[in-house]
Amino acid sequence: MSVPKKSICKWSKEMIGAHLRDLLAEAHAARFVCRKCGRTAANRHLLCKPVKPNKTSSPDETS
Ligand SMILES: [Zn+2]
């Protein structure tokens, strides 16, 4: 896995271009979605506000 540890949400356009193949692999295996940015990843550490799409309701939704 050569995806940078930095969250995908914070990637620059240059980083996305350089790691597009890894990004596509990440999106293909995605189990989490960022509710702030709408990005997807298999690893929640790559998202700033990760949520599980198959979850009916997230506990921290009540604010
Ligand atoms: Zn995000």
pLDDT number for residue 5: 80
Contacts of 27 (CB under 8 A, 6+ apart): 40, 41
- Render pLDDT for 5-61 as a digit per residue (tens, 0 to 9): 889 999 999 999 999 999 999 999 999 999 999 999 999 999 999 999 765 555 665
Calculate how far, in angstroms, residue 9's C-alpha sits from the geometric centre of ligand 1: 4
Would you mind telling me the total number of residues written for the chain in this entry?
A: 63
* Beta bridge partner(s), residue 40: 33
Domain coordinates in residue numbering, the chain: 8-53
pTM to 2 decimal places: 0.71
Calculate how far, in angstroms, residue 17's C-alpha sits from the geometric centre of ligand 1: 18
